[in-house]
Structures are given as C-alpha cells and as structure tokens.
Amino acid sequence: MSETPLGEATRDGETVVLRYERRLMHSPGKVWRAITESAHLRHWFPADIIGERAAGADLTIVFWPESIEQAGDEIEAAGLSLDEASLPGRLLTWDPPRTFAFTWDTEELRFDLAEDDGITLLTLTVRADKPAPRGFASTATGYHLCLDALVAHVENHHVNLFDEKRTAALEKRYAATL
C-alpha cells in the first residue's frame, strides 16, 4: 500500500483538530456501510459502535477483543479496564449517506461523504480535547491508520492496523506537525 498523506493537524485553543481526506472508487452507499455497520467496523475501527442510529442517541463504544489484545497497554493507560473496555458516546448527526458524527469519550468524530464523478470523497474531522496516553501525535496516527485500514477494507484488502514500525514512523511525522 502506498503511503497516504498526513492528515491536517491544527489547534483550537486546547483542542486538537485533525482532518483527513481519502478518495474511494466506490459509491457513498458502500462507504457509508463501511463506516457505520458493525460487520465492517471490525475491519478498520478498534471498537464497535452500539446504539440507536438517531441524532441524540446514547452510544456505547466497545473495544473489539483483537484491539484489546493488540493495544491493551494503551487502553489501560487511558484508564479503562480490559474486562469492560468501553466508552460512552452520543450520536450527533445521522444523515445517510452523507454525515455520521458522534462523540467517543472526549473526542468528536465527523465523517462526511461527498460524491464527485464516481469517486467518494471521505473527510474525517476529529476534535480531541485530551491526548492519547502517548500524546496527540499518537491520536493523529491512530486515526490515520484506521482510515488506511478502512480504505483497504472497502477495496477488499487487509492491512495490519497494529503495525508497530509504521505506527512509530507516523507518530514521528505527526509530532513534527503538532
């Protein structure tokens, strides 16, 4: 897989705002299913999103067992018990197949899909008020890797979401931008 460009990282006071774009050669409907349905989330997102798909609904974000196995130290460092590794959330926007926005603990994620001449432009904007245990560069890297895994999944490929060498290289690159 070729290296994808870094997301844009800016600050809004104490909040870090991350913005990523990916172009997919698939319909917004297919990409929408990949970002909202459990069967697809499992391939690229570290947790399932449980709850009613309606604006204002409470959500429970439950880490997949394989995420706990691969990133358990970081999950524990974030203050979660590995026996009940979940975070609260709230669905902010549910506008299929255009916008899916929700909170995940102290982070806000917004997925926007736009179709342009047969290509779906996916824009992910993340607002993070507190860093991951290894800092905001780790937060930015995590979302970057998730999106690469999402694109691979939609393209019927697989990438290792927990590649330590690639993670370290991306964290270094993101640290230079923050």
Domains with residue ranges and CATH for the chain:
8-177 (3.30.530.20)
d(CA 33, CA 37): 5
Strand boundaries in the chain, DSSP class E: 8-12, 15-24, 47-50, 58-63, 86-95, 99-104, 107-116, 119-128
Mean pLDDT of the region 105-134: 93
Average confidence (pLDDT) over 45-59: 96
Q: What is the pLDDT of residue 154?
A: 96
Q: Quick: pLDDT tens for 143-177.
A: 999 999 999 999 999 888 778 899 999 999 999 99
Q: Band the pLDDT of 178: cuts 50, 70, 90.
A: confident
104 has a pLDDT exceeding 60: yes
Report which of 157, 149, 126 is spatially closest to residue 139, judged by C-alpha positions. 126
Q: What is the pLDDT of residue 2?
A: 57
User: Could you tell me how far CA 123 lies from the centroid of its own chain?
Assistant: 11
Q: Is the pLDDT of residue 75 over 80?
A: no
**Cα 137 → chain centroid:** 14
For residue 77, what pLDDT band results from cuts at 50, 70 and 90? Answer: low
Average pLDDT for 105-125:
95
Mean pLDDT of 29-46: 96
Q: In this prediction, what percent of the chain has a pLDDT beyond 90?
A: 72
Name the pLDDT band for 42 (thresholds 50, 70, 90): very high
In this predicted structure, the answer to whether residue 122 has a pLDDT above a threshold of 90 is: yes
Instruction: Return the percentage of the chain with pLDDT > 70, whole number.
Output: 95
Helix H or strand E segment including 72 = helix 65-77
Instruction: Kindly indicate the confidence band of residue 81, based on its pLDDT and cuts at 50, 70 and 90.
Output: low
Q: What's the pTM? A: 0.92
pLDDT at position 4 is 87
120-129 average pLDDT score: 97
